[in-house]
Structure 1
């Protein structure tokens, strides 16, 4: 099986946010190898109003999973950790215990109903994302 290099962004704004991210990273390590992590970054919510501040981190991983398999895996991690609403389905952003986004997958360009790679909002629009990604890429 070939290994793929993937950039992920993780965020949390409910509960112990840094702990939530660390727990998600541990779960990722069950099927992936973490190559590099950014520093934690606190940021205001984007595209919705909340008084809860986000803790965010970017990471580069290696995995043998395909893009859709990886998406399914990170969605299972989110649900297992207690995430209720999926903005991909609801089209509404809300507070969340954990959010894991696939930003880049090798140099692949891929688009489906559930997943678009690369994640253009994180690469081009969201300031916190650009800061985190600059830290690791």
Structure 2
């Protein structure tokens, strides 16, 4: 029962987050990539979505895998909702860092990218720049 309540709360938080902002998503199987429509051009969103498919990032995943937006300062912000409490595994951080560098080089034209490791509600726990 408590697991159901937890999942319901997370779904509510993510839903409220998406409804209160200008966010849309692109889905592949059970997974999706979320982006801020006010700062991310549809062409960039589609290019990143295709990149995630080609790199098999969606494989075996459900729910949100990434949120992309651009700050008012013009810096890309990628949020990965992988934090589940405790320490962040060095392997998880290494994989996110590698993926972020690939996204920066292959999709974002090497523009500045700030990477956030977040919980399921996209609240940042740790961040770094690539």
Normalised by the size of structure 1, how large is the TM-score?
A: 0.35
Normalised by the size of structure 2, how large is the TM-score?
A: 0.36
Greater relative contact order, per chain length (Cα 8 Å cut-off, separation 6+): 1
